[in-house]
């Protein structure tokens, strides 16, 4: 017999758990970097507009799909139309691919927290420290195991006692710490230039690619198109307002992304004397530049520790949502117990994560399309599979089951105020934009076109 389906206790639990999934590494290092690159204030404005239109509609659709069917991705699509089961299958593969490599990066974050907390700030600020660390055979694998082990422990405890409880503690702490570091950073000498650079619009950097970059970031940041919100929706009670929950998740996610910019850009400007190149790209910013910034500032050990603690919370709540989604899918499919399923998912993820971790050292020579193993997993899941699933979801909701069926689900708790917007976006606007994202991100990564 299958155990009864779990649920979140109420609205706050649901919103914080979903926000926990949405707020992650993407908010903290990717958003500030993109905002700096694409014209500061103008990027922020474009992102905000997209969040309240696209992000809002897609998130409503996914959560409603989950709550309506009471199933995770594969079951949800199948229950409504058998021909579309494959969309659920592809959506479910995504978190299974992301979880291992996301946990490798989570392991790096855990290591940096330990380094800062134990006062080894100057070492972490040395040239080559990060490259040396990730190329070791055993140490990063150890931190990866610790991080994914913690994730598995929370998932093992279940939806209410694990996922919800942890989110209710970590998310409020995360906000407080973020505001603290952002305020500190803005008052550093020379930081004001960074604040201006971040907030004032630079129209010369605005183009169609600004919109596409903002859109790609939005999908990733809101954990859309990978079955997570469908799964979390299936744990949502019918008497909780779906529309206002989505609003709150969005505000949470965008606010942390915005604050992350205020935390990072002014600090980097202050450190580098206003050199925007120092913002760099990708892991380099968080693991190379920021440790140097902390190393050079007064109270750097404390701020560095606080910073990596908040990043760890953000990463953990996201990896929990990834593992919970995979566990939920496997359980729905095979009717296994939570404990057994957690163990299987843990073992498989460890097996997949180890090569990603070794890809910077022992397996350095293994390159696929010129990318490391970790980057390859990232590319396949984010740049290829996610847009495909997002597109298929829009077509499915817009033309197969029809928007009205989900509007009815949202209206269980009162009028769906933005239902017109929802319908137009899902049927017409989103599919077109998603195809554009898919094409540009693939061409960009393959180096055929530079965005
Ligand atoms: N939304 C998370 C972020 O912004 C990333 C994430 C992706 C989380 C996939 C879970 C799953 O970093």
The number of CA neighbours under 13 Å toward the Cβ of 235 is: 28
CA atoms within 13 A on the CB side of 273: 0
Nearest CA to 24 out of 135, 136, 105 is that of 105
- Ligand 1, from 19, 21, 97, 214: best to mutate by most atoms within 8 Å of Cβ? 21
Cβ–ligand 1 contact at 217 (below 6 Å): no
Instruction: Find the mean pLDDT for residues 407-434.
Output: 96
What is the position in ligand 1's atom list of the atom closest to the CA of 27? 4
| Helix (DSSP H) and strand (DSSP E) numbers for the chain | 24, 0
Which pLDDT tens digit goes with each residue over 240-273? 999 999 999 999 999 999 999 999 999 988 888 8
Q: What is the C-alpha R_g of the chain?
A: 21
**8 Å CB contact between 361 and 134:** yes
Return the best residue to mutate from 19, 26, 31, 258 for the ligand 1 pocket (most ligand atoms within 8 A of CB).
26
CA of 429 to the centre of ligand 1 (A): 24
Residue pLDDT, tens place only, 44-102: 999 999 999 999 999 999 999 999 999 999 999 999 999 999 999 999 999 999 999 99
360-379 per-position pLDDT tens digit? 887 877 787 778 888 888 88
Condensed to tens digits (0 to 9), the pLDDT of residues 275-332 reads 777 777 667 788 988 898 898 888 889 999 999 999 999 999 999 999 999 999 999 8
Could you tell me if the CB of 21 is within 6 A of ligand 1? yes
User: Would you say the CB of residue 221 lies under 6 angstroms from ligand 1?
Assistant: yes
Our answer on whether the CB atom of 322 is closer than 6 Å to any ligand 1 atom is yes
Of ligand 1's listed atoms, the one at least distance from the Cα of 26 is: 12
Instruction: Render pLDDT for 202-243 as a digit per residue (tens, 0 to 9).
Output: 999 888 888 888 988 898 899 999 999 999 999 999 999 999
* Backbone dihedral angles phi then psi of residue 423, each to the nearest 5 degrees: -65, -45
Which is it for the CA torsion 256, 388, 328, 52, positive or negative?
Answer: positive
User: Which of 223, 226, 254, 383 has most ligand 1 atoms within 8 Å of its beta carbon, as the pocket-test mutant?
Assistant: 223
Condensed to tens digits (0 to 9), the pLDDT of residues 185-207 reads 999 888 999 999 999 999 998 88
């Amino acid at each position: 017999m299958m155990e009864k389906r779990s649920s979140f206790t109420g609205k706050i639990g649901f919103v914080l758990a979903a926000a926990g999934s949405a707020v992650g590494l993407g908010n903290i290092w990717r958003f500030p970097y993109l905002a700096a690159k694409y014209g500061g204030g103008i990027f922020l404005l474009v992102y905000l507009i997209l969040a309240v239109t696209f992000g809002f509609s897609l998130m409503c659709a996914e959560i409603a799909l989950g709550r309506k069917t009471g199933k995770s991705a594969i079951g949800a699509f199948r229950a409504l139309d058998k021909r579309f089961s494959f969309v659920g299958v592809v959506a479910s593969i995504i978190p299974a691919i992301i979880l291992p490599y996301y946990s490798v990066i989570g392991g790096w974050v855990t290591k940096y927290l330990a380094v800062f907390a134990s006062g080894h700030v100057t070492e972490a600020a040395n040239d080559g420290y990060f490259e040396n660390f990730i190329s070791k055979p055993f140490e990063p694998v150890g931190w990866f195991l610790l991080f994914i082990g913690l994730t598995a422990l929370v998932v093992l405890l279940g939806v209410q006692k694990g996922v919800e409880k942890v989110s209710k503690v970590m998310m409020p702490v995360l906000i407080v710490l973020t505001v603290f570091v952002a305020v500190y950073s803005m008052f550093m000498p020379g930081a004001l230039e960074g604040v201006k650079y971040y907030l004032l619009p630079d129209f010369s950097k605005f183009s169609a690619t600004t919109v596409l970059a903002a859109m790609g970031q939005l999908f990733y940041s809101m954990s859309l198109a990978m079955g997570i919100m469908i799964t979390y929706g299936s744990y949502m009670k019918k008497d909780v307002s779906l529309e206002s929950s989505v609003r709150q998740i969005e505000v949470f996610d965008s606010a942390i992304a915005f604050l992350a910019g205020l935390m990072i850009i002014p600090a980097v400007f202050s450190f580098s004397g206003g050199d925007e190149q120092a913002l760099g790209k990708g892991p380099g910013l968080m693991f190379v530049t920021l440790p140097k910034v902390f190393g050079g500032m007064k109270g750097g050990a404390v701020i560095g520790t606080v910073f990596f603690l908040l990043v760890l919370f953000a990463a953990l709540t996201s990896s929990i949502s990834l593992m919970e989604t995979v566990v939920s899918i496997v359980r729905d499919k095979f009717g296994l117990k939570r404990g057994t399923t957690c163990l299987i998912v843990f073992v498989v993820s460890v097996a997949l994560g180890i090569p990603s971790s070794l890809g910077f050292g022992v397996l350095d020579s293994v390159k696929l399309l010129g990318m490391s193993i970790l980057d390859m997993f990232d590319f396949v899941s984010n740049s290829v599979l996610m847009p495909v699933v997002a597109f298929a979801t829009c077509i499915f909701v817009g033309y197969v089951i029809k928007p009205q069926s989900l509007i009815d689900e949202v209206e269980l708790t009162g009028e769906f105020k933005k239902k017109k917007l929802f319908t137009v976006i899902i049927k017409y606007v989103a599919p077109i934009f998603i195809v554009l994202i898919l094409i540009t991100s693939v061409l960009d990564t393959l180096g055929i076109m530079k965005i």
